[in-house]
Amino acid sequence: MIILGVDPGTYFTGYGLIEKQKSGVTHIDNGLISPSKVSLLPDKLKTLFDEMTALIEKFEPQEIALENVFVAKNVKSSLKLGHARGVIMLAAAIRQIPVFEYPPAQIKLAITGFGQATKEQMQKMIRLSLKLKEEAQEDANDALAVALCHSQTMRIQQ
């Protein structure tokens, strides 16, 4: 099963693709979707939708895992994050791909065993778990963490 993990944002959206097999989990790809910083919000959302749709078409994930919304101090930032999440969910819904959401503490707990893990601890565990030669970019690493969290959660539930 191919899982697409997503760390949403309007400036940078990280994505990470893994394949879950009986023998374990394999890294497929990871990267960033980064609309132009000078674009208006509707144009950023269109870029995000187009890029997400292209990833879905290329890799054909069976499930998408998304980092859940956290309440930021800046309400405007939270609203923009909500728009980005909505666009990602729409791209998944059009292809009838189920979306699963996980809060940051649950993701950290699944990856490191500690719900308050640092970015550095997360990056190290992702690199080791997926046998990456180098650490992924921060947002892409977060997306890989979401995908791995989903893989482990589904394994436990089954």
Among 51, 63, 139, 142, the active-site one is 139
Question: CA-to-CA distance for 43 and 133, rounded, in angstroms?
Answer: 35
Among 7, 51, 63, 142, the active-site one is 7
How does DSSP classify residue 8? -
User: Tokens 């749709």 sit at which residue?
Assistant: 53
Angle at CA of residue 54, ends 49 and 57, nearest 5°: 125
138 is catalytic: no
101 is catalytic: no
Provide CB contacts within 8 A for 100, sequence distance 6+.
63, 64, 65, 66, 150, 153
7 is catalytic: yes
Tokens of 113: 């065993």
Q: Which amino acid is at 136?
A: A
Cβ atoms of 35 and 11 closer than 8 Å: yes
Neighbours of 130 (CB within 10 A): 20
Among 63, 67, 101, 120, the active-site one is 67
Active site residues: 7, 67, 139
